[in-house]
Amino acid sequence: MTIDSNAAQEADETDPLRSFRDRFELPEGVIYLDGNSLGALPKGVRERVAHAIGTEWGTDLIRSWNSAEWVNLPQKVGNRIARVIGAKAGTVVAADSTSVNLFKVLSAALNLNPGRRTIVSERENFPTDLYIAEGVARQLGGKHGLVLADAPQDIPALLDEDVAVLMLTHVNYRTGYRHDMAELTKAAHEKGILTIWDLAHSAGAMALDVEAAQADFAIGCGYKYLNGGPGAPAFLYVDPRHHGGFRQPLSGWFGHRVPFEFEPGYVPSGGVEQYLCGTPPVLGMVALDEALALWDEVDMDALRRKSLALAELFMREIDAFADEFGLRLVTPREADKRGSQVSYACENGYAIMQALIARGVIGDFRAPDIIRFGFTPLYLNYAEVAQAASILRAILEERAWDRPEYKVRTAVT
């Protein structure tokens, strides 16, 4: 499907996902291209969280652990996420942050593959993934080494008999490059290597099938395309063939077989619940649970089609002036090699993004020189995308970014 700026309005009128926009609270005058970093607020969440605070906490107090089923939220939310990532019920839990979940699954995976000493990843992986791998290796006595591919095509050659785990982010946070999860998992398995996939930029951005891909473990964020709110609980998936046969190091009471028996010794739950550690953050869980309710109605193939078409429209509009203003596309043009974002490397990227935000187009900046735009098909429309590209053009033509206040770096970029 090729849509240009003239056809954008018509594309919006026939968009099969158009009704979802009404399910979100979106401020007037904003074109939101940062749902890949913090998803917008689904309408039901405000009321649900208010109920959890006012009634469940305020009135029912501690009884709500049972009556409102707070205690089961990690599994209930996990099952909702399972449907979005192509996993069976009982294989996903919501818990902790993505970083902490990676610590747990990487530790477990290395234990499942004793005798092998290498973790393979990518230099361009999201830094927290690499930092956690360093920490896990240190924790295990420093006998594991981290080998980093310089480019995606270098990965298969690194998979040898000493590799215990292949740990990758499915869609790269800076470039938007998308790996072939099934193909790389197959190549890893042929060498006896376990795989961990970080789905932070793919869960809720496209149809996924972790089960068909035979991923061993997966982790991901609740606050990006899943719209669970700032600091929402993250999730983790464990292939059922590893249930029972693994140990994770954060052996807290919520992962115990019978936490409310208060036994002195740790006996892990046989299933994915073993990956829970302590008391779940109920308010965050409730928000994420409500945000996930709408995914049952989403046609994931239509979602992916629209995601690709929105990004294509944006790239095509920007092609008209990219060279003139030194914007270099770093996202692959091939549909099967990208996620749901488009990124450009450019000089003065930080200031350009601040100028865009000042005119209501919200994207973000990733050091040293990337301006990044996320496309969330549930609440974004084609006309907005065309308009965002023309605002970018105006900012570049007018050098509107060249103001001191746009060059002052904030803590979060």
Ligand X SMILES: Cc1ncc(COP(=O)(O)O)c(C=O)c1O
Sign of the four-CA dihedral 134, 136, 140, 145: negative
- Residue whose pair of structure tokens reads 């089609």 in the numeric block: 305
- Report, in Å, the least distance between residue 196 CB and ligand X: 11
- Report, in Å, the least distance between residue 78 CB and ligand X: 16
Q: Which stretch binds ligand X (CB under 6 A): 6-14, 95-103, 309-317, 363-371?
A: 95-103
Among 5, 72, 128, 390, binds ligand X (CB under 6 A): 128
Among 17, 38, 200, 205, binds ligand X (CB under 6 A): 200
State the catalytic residue, choosing from 15, 198, 289, 364: 198
First to last CA, the chain: 33
275 assigned to active site: no
Q: What contacts 287, CB < 8 A, 6 or more positions away?
A: 45, 48, 49, 228, 229, 232
224 assigned to active site: yes
Q: By CB under 6 A, is residue 173 in contact with ligand X? A: yes
Q: By CB under 6 A, is residue 413 in contact with ligand X? A: no
Alpha-carbon distance 395 to 391, whole Å? 6
126 assigned to active site: yes
Q: Which stretch binds ligand X (CB under 6 A): 97-105, 257-265, 282-290, 306-314?
A: 97-105
Cross-strand pairs, 242: none
- Report, in Å, the least distance between residue 180 CB and ligand X: 17
Strand pairing category for 217-220 and 370-374: unpaired
State the catalytic residue, choosing from 48, 178, 224, 306: 224
Alpha-carbon distance 74 to 234, whole Å? 10
Per CB under 6 A, which of residues 319..378 are in contact with ligand X?
Answer: none
246 assigned to active site: no
Q: Identify whether the C-beta of residue 25 lies closer than 8 Å to the C-beta of residue 46.
A: yes
CA distances from 193 to 143, 170, 241, 374 (A): 17, 17, 14, 32
User: Number of helices (H) and strands (E), helices first, in the chain?
Assistant: 13, 15
Q: By CB under 6 A, is residue 196 in contact with ligand X? A: no
Q: By CB under 6 A, is residue 126 in contact with ligand X? A: yes
- Report, in Å, the least distance between residue 13 CB and ligand X: 34
**Which helix (H) or strand (E) element contains residue 127?**
helix 127-139
Q: By CB under 6 A, is residue 97 in contact with ligand X? A: yes
Cross-strand pairs, 196: 167, 217
Among 75, 79, 98, 307, binds ligand X (CB under 6 A): 98
Alpha-carbon distance 39 to 20, whole Å? 14
Q: How many residues of this chain interact with ligand X, rule: CB under 6 A?
A: 13
Q: By CB under 6 A, is residue 169 in contact with ligand X? A: yes
Q: Which amino acid is at 153?
A: Q
- Report, in Å, the least distance between residue 393 CB and ligand X: 28
Q: By CB under 6 A, is residue 195 in contact with ligand X? A: no
Output the DSSP codes for 137-197.
HHHTTS--EEEEESSGGGHHHH--TTEEEEEEESB-TTT-BB--HHHHHHHHHHTT-EEEE
Q: Which is nearer to ligand X, 221 or 395 (CB)?
A: 221
- Report, in Å, the least distance between residue 6 CB and ligand X: 35
Pull the structure tokens for residue 123: 């230099």
Q: By CB under 6 A, is residue 198 in contact with ligand X? A: yes
Q: By CB under 6 A, is residue 227 in contact with ligand X? A: no
Q: Which is nearer to ligand X, 48 or 201 (CB)?
A: 201
Alpha-carbon distance 191 to 111, whole Å? 17
- Report, in Å, the least distance between residue 81 CB and ligand X: 14
Q: Which is nearer to ligand X, 225 or 344 (CB)?
A: 225
407 assigned to active site: no
**Which helix (H) or strand (E) element contains residue 7?**
none
Alpha-carbon distance 100 to 138, whole Å? 15
Sign of the four-CA dihedral 32, 36, 38, 42: positive
Q: Which stretch binds ligand X (CB under 6 A): 109-117, 123-131, 285-293, 316-324?
A: 123-131
User: Catalytic residue positions?
Assistant: 126, 198, 223-224, 372
Sites of contact with ligand X (CB under 6 A): 97-99, 126, 128-129, 169, 173, 198, 200-201, 221, 234
